[in-house]
Amino acid sequence: MAMKKFNLIPLISLLFVFCTSLPDESTEQNANQKQKSDWSEMNLNGQVKLIRESTYKAVERNGEVQMGERKDSTIYIFNDKGNKIEMNGYKPEGGLDWRSTYQYDSNQNNIERNIFKPDGSLGVNYISKYDSSGNIIEDMSYDPTGSLNWKSIYKNDNNGNIIEEKMYKPEGRLDWKYTWKYDGNGKKIETNFYKPDGTLTSKQTYKYDDNANLIERNRYNPDGSLKTRYTYRYDYDKYLNWIKRIELENDVPLSVWQREIEYF
């Protein structure tokens, strides 16, 4: 489960991760991975070099949504090919919480990523494998001793979009299954979560604005009834990259993201 993270919105909590404060390396942050740069995955325009992103609790004052207490901050660092080479996560008070580094093959496929603890020691190591077309087919997570945490096997459609993931425990037993659907532009429009026995546990759907930014995310119960509706509002810079995002849960302001973006 690689890291297109979107910060997206962590929905699947990893098993066996050494520390819950580490970033969620969920596939929700990675679906759609085939040889697409992180600029593309994060829907970024222009030659983005660095993003400083902070998340705040949303507070409403006089009918206006404002930034309240800071939750955390993340710095994304990109190479000139548009892929992340480093991410740094910071605690609300500013101290380093985790650091993540990335390695790529000659085709710019992310073949290895490592998450480090604040003291610099390794926390989790991820290794990914790809087919000859650049589609991710296997993902493995290892603890600092080299022991397997989990393994994921992927299926891709003809456009290189991930349409199925099966996550296995170290002993080889199926733990979870996920499936995805996409629109004609390759944007994810549906995610389904299944137990090992095939029972559907939840479903999510997604809608986007004309700038291809997520504006609505709906989570459903197994019976199809709506559980939670998230909506998003944006402010943009001159490159049409968002620099402020407001998230509402069932129309109640929940979080505010603020970005500072540097370009090559």
Domain boundaries, the chain: 27-263
> CA-CA distance, 135 to 120, in Å (whole number)?
31
* pLDDT score of 6 more than 60: no
* Averaged confidence pLDDT in the chain: 89
* pLDDT score of 22 more than 90: no
CA angle at 30 for the pair 151 and 126, rounded to the nearest 5°: 40
> Do the Cβ atoms of 184 and 172 come closer than 8 Å?
no
Report the pLDDT value the prediction gives residue 184, as an integer from 0 to 100: 92
Confidence of residue 36 (pLDDT cuts 50, 70, 90): confident
- List pLDDT tens digits, range 94-103: 999 999 999 9
* pLDDT score of 26 more than 80: no
Mean pLDDT (whole number) for 187-216: 97
Mean pLDDT (whole number) for 212-226: 97
The class that CATH gives domain 27-263 is mainly beta
